Structure 1
Amino acid sequence: MTDISVPTLGESVTEATVGQWLKSAGDTVKRDDVLVELETDKVSVEVSAPEDGVLSEIVAKEGDTVEIGALLGRVNAGGSAGKAAPAKAEAPAPAKDSKPAAKEEAAPAASGGKMTDVVVPAMGESVAEGTLSTFLKKVGDSVKKDETIAEIETDKVALEVPSPADGVIAELVASEGDGVTPGSVIARISAGGAGASAPSASPASPPPPAAKAAAEGAPVSPSVRRISTEAGVDPSNIPGSGRDGRATKADALDYVNNAASKASSSTAVTESRAPRDIGPREERVRMTRLRQTIARRLKEAQDSAAMLTTFNDVDMGAIMDLRKKHQDSFVAKHGIKLGFMSFFVKACVNALKEVPAVNAEIDGTDIIYKNYYDIGVAVGTDKGLVVPVVRDSDDLSLAGIEKYIADLGKRARDGDLTIGDMQGGTFTISNGGIYGSLMSTPILNPPQSGVLGMHRIENRPVAVNGQVVIRPMMYLALSYDHRIVDGKEAVTFLVRVKEALEDPERMLLEV
């Protein structure tokens, strides 16, 4: 008998809520099968089976609050699987609990075929839920193992859900547009081509419960409790879209943000009013989860940071001459064109080393200084703005940066970016110039304290050595969090970027 305990959940995290058991007592499990999901105020954690055997006992129930090291259940290794099997074959046995009964009715409906659940995969650190955007298969369709069955859209990336086995789609448990969490079942596959019997499985699974208020006895998770406490709202008033009507972290954030919007007279008119009727030449389209998250995060940045922008201009002539002189040989050697962005990344890294506050972040009453330089590069896609990160930019050459950015840009446009590609940036560069922008004030990407805005290059008359000449000039804009970055530091940073770009040879030689 092996105990299943709550693992270490990260620094300063002392408890979690049991979110969902993916296996029932008596189920046969394999080593590393996900048994249960735990939700903390920061992340969702999957707890796996330590060995092959049978889940003999579930100690902590869904909704229970558990501490680190607490007992969740037990796995019985060895020959106990045979004892558990008859319990499943007896129809009356599960009558004590209506939930397991619903799951076990699916097996007879498959006419003897083994029923396999299709579950939502892990979506990455801090991503607790997504939206089921598309089913690529319907009930009765044959599928192969690893064939994509559905697509899930999170607030950061789109995920593909592969088939766990060969067989036939017997049941679609979730519907397009539903909110789903890691480990939740969205469909079931019957082995052996038993798709014709799929309709009989449908009545056995009740439709997902409609969103209801957490006040109806649903437990409150640590993340919801923390968010509601910080916002000064009653967690029982938060409508829940999770399992059994429980409020999720996303529900709490939406509720708090909507409450804040209604409290503001400037936004109450547009956000708190009921949907209006549309005219014959209008079209109403639901915002994607990515667009909703972009809107929320940008508004949060404005509300939380003391954001200020300082400007300068830079003569791009030296870099343009350098690119023109060496472009052919650069392409021949590295297989990629020498663009402007690599120079800007290098210039920003040099300036960040001199002004570390711009590369830092605020954590409560502390400042975290980062001695690494992961530069986010804003990329526009059909679905919205994403900010993939160029890791360890200070260790890359110009060619290395150009290849890194080209790869990120391609994957962003193809929808192939992962959560890891967009996490952990320390500073962001946004190039509005590719769209023709002359000047703008970029918005911070929290928790970062600085973002540099690039703009279009324009020939303008400037004074050089007492003479008016026409030079290719670009406006630069640095938006920064004035809580951590002083005006002197912000101006110094921007001046150092300007100096590096106007004399790139010195920057590259580090003199």
Structure 2
Amino acid sequence: MIDIKVPTVGESISEVTLVKWLKKDGEWVDRDELICELESEKATFELNAEQAGILHIVAEEGATLNIGDLACQIDETAARPEGAAPKAEAPKAEAKPAAAPAAPKAEAPKAAAPASDVKATPVAQAIMADKQVKPADVKGSGSMGRIMKNDVLEALQNPGRKGGAEAFSREDKREKMSNLRKTVSRRLVEAKNTTAMLTTFNEVDMGRIMEVRKQYKDVFKEMHGVNLGFMSFFTKACCIALEEWPAVNAYIDGDNLVYHQYCDISIAVSAPKGLVVPVIRNAESLSMAEIEGKVGELAKKARENKLTIEEMTGGTFTITNGGVFGSLMSTPIINIPQSAILGMHKIQDRPMAVNGKVEIRPMMYIALSYDHRIIDGRESVSFLVRVKELLEQPELLLFGKDPMKALLEVK
């Protein structure tokens, strides 16, 4: 019998939560097969079977385990059940006879699965994927709460009733706070209580960047294989501004100020289990395509809860985009121990005075929250003005200053 224990996942992590068993007790598992999901205060990771055999579960789902605690055992001396191999290959066998029109059904579970563990019939899954209905918004009438076709159709006809709940329901739902959510809560309170946080605002005319994206998005995608988004422009602009105003890229360590000679940009991402901030290392040295590729890669890992602890630690400056959720203006909270965070917001057409005339321009409010203990008002405002200048004239991102001034060697 082989003991499978909770592995060490980081120097500061002493306990984890067993989120979900991927295999059942008494079920056959192959070597290196995923058997359960664990969640630490920083990330979600999985345990693999060290040997093939029969699984004997020891820890229950939702249990808090210390590093080194026993999670399960595997009887490697047990014989493989006769039906074990065919059962693992069943999805492939079912997919082969499917006709071409049925392809969307085969893909539907992938789109619907992350939102909920509720089971649904293939037809119901296909409809939910096509109509973008979350399983949590549908009340299943089948056996064991299984979602049927009619359940989805009823939910579409009555969109105001979430999860099939009755009108005027006063039920409460209580669930245990995850380790990740606990950590986010603790760090946000710590940031508010231990820093002299202040926020300064400005606004950016996004018209020029939108023109550049419209002009080059197709050829950019064809040449680099990634979409040209706003994040690469903001990341580049912040890197240039951070090099010019190093205090914004520094932090306080006791009685010392630590200045970074590099820009590790943390990108705030809303993941299924909470807010995470994966880091783009040495962003100042990356091209636009490399930044976009890294943003896409990290965002995908965040949505799938696949980020490692190394990918979420060590940032020197954070960018958060509340605009994707419709936020017009906000005051972001510093991601300690960093000293500043830039908040992007929704692009909205507004009347602006341009050369003495009123024009409708696509405007975005930007906010810089900073620790006033290390960053003065002059530095914070100048940093934000510099970011605004670089975004409104994206050509400056190439040299960091006007090409003609660079040619003439003037300021």
TM-score normalised over the length of structure 2: 0.74
Q: Which residue does the alignment assign to 1:297?
A: 187
Partner of 1:145: 31
Output the amino acid matched with 1:143.
Answer: V
2:19 counterpart of 1:133:
yes
Which of 40, 49, 59 is the aligned partner of 1:154? 40
- Report the more deviating stretch, 319-328 or 306-315: 319-328
Greater alpha carbon shift after TM alignment, 181-190 vs 295-304: 181-190
Q: 1:483 offset after TM fit, Å?
A: 0.9
User: Take 1:129 and 1:195, find their aligned partners in 2: how far apart are those partners?
Assistant: 34
**Within-5 A mapping of 1:28-427:** 115-170=1-56, 172-193=57-78, 280-427=170-317
Q: Does 1:473 align with 2:360?
A: no
Whole-angstrom CA distance in 1 between matches of 2:256 and 2:47: 40
Matches of 1:414 and 1:334, distance apart in 2: 24
Aligned residue pairs, count: 314
The residue aligned with 1:256 is none
Counterpart Cα distance in 1 of 2:24 and 2:360: 63
Give the superposition deviation at 1:315.
0.7
Q: Structure 1 CA distance, aligned partners of 2:237 and 2:338? A: 18
Please give the per-residue CA displacement for 1:259-312, whole angstroms capped at 9, x wherever unaligned: xxxxxxxxxxxxxxxxxxxx9522112211111111111111101111100000
- The question of whether the paired residues in 2 share the 8 Å contact of 1:173 and 1:186 is answered with yes
Segments of 4+ in structure 1 off by > 3 A?
none
For 1:435 and 1:161, how far apart are their aligned partners in 2? 34
Structure 1 residue runs without a partner (length 5+): 1-114, 197-278
Aligned AA (1:186): A
- For residue 391 of structure 2, the aligned residue among 496, 501, 504 is 501
Q: Distance in 1 between matches of 2:252 and 2:277?
A: 20
- Residues 465-501 of structure 1, C-alpha deviations (whole Å, 9 max, x = no match): 2222211111000000111111111001101100100
CA distance in 2, matches of 1:282, 1:179: 24
Q: CA deviation at 1:142?
A: 1.7
Matched residue SS, 1:371: coil
Q: Quick one: structure 1 residues 398 and 125, their matched pair in 2 at CA, closer, same or farther if it must change by over 3 Å?
A: farther
Give 2:276's aligned amino acid: V
Q: Is the 8 A contact 1:169 1:195 kept in 2?
A: no
Identify which range, 279-288 or 389-398, moves more after superposition: 279-288
Distance 1:460 1:280, change over 3 A: closer
State the secondary structure of the residue aligned to 2:294.
helix
Secondary structure at the counterpart of residue 331 of structure 1: helix
Alignment TM-score, normalising by the size of structure 1: 0.60
Whether the 8 Å CA contact 1:135–1:150 is kept in 2: the answer is yes
Deviation at 1:506, TM superposition (A): 1.7
* Whole-Å separation in 2 of the counterparts to 1:173 and 1:285: 22
- Counterparts of 2:189 and 2:388 in 1: how far apart (Å)? 30
Deviations 1:238-277 (A, max 9, x none): xxxxxxxxxxxxxxxxxxxxxxxxxxxxxxxxxxxxxxxx
Q: What is the identity percentage for the equivalent residue pairs of Structure 1 and Structure 2?
A: 54
Give me the whole-angstrom Cα distance separating, in 2, the residues matched to 1:116 and 1:506: 61
Query: Contact 1:124 / 1:420 at 8 angstroms: preserved in 2?
Result: no
Deviation at 1:429, TM superposition (A): 0.3
| CA positional deviation for 1:378 | 0.7
Structure 2 residue aligned with 1:27 = none
Shift of 1:120: 1.2
- Using the alignment, how far apart are the partners of 2:272 and 2:26 within structure 1? 33
Instruction: Give per-residue Cα distances to partners, 1:449-473, cap 9 Å, x unaligned.
Output: 0000000111111112222221111
Q: Which amino acid aligns with 1:491?
A: V
Distance (whole Å) between structure 1 residues aligned to residue 375 and residue 190 of structure 2: 19
Quote the offset at 1:126 in angstroms: 2.5
Partner SS for 1:504: coil
Q: Which runs of 5+ in 2 are unaligned?
A: 82-168, 402-411
Greater relative contact order: 1 or 2 (C-alpha under 8 angstroms, separation 6 or more)?
A: 2
**Amino acid paired to 2:61:** E
Query: CA deviation digits over 1:117-160, x for unaligned, max 9?
Result: 10112213422221112223343222211111221111121111
Secondary structure of the corresponding residue to residue 489 of structure 1: helix
For the Cα contact (< 8 Å) 1:141–1:195, is it kept in 2? no
Give SS of 2:17's match: strand
Matched to 2:261, the amino acid is N
Distance (Å, rounded) in 1 between the aligned partners of 2:212 and 2:20: 48
Q: Which moved more, 1:449-458 or 1:143-152?
A: 143-152
Cα distance in structure 2, aligned partners of 1:462 and 1:369: 38
Question: Helix, strand or coil: the match of 1:282?
Answer: coil
In the alignment, which residue of structure 1 is the partner of 2:335? Answer: 445
Distance 2:11 2:232 in 1: 29
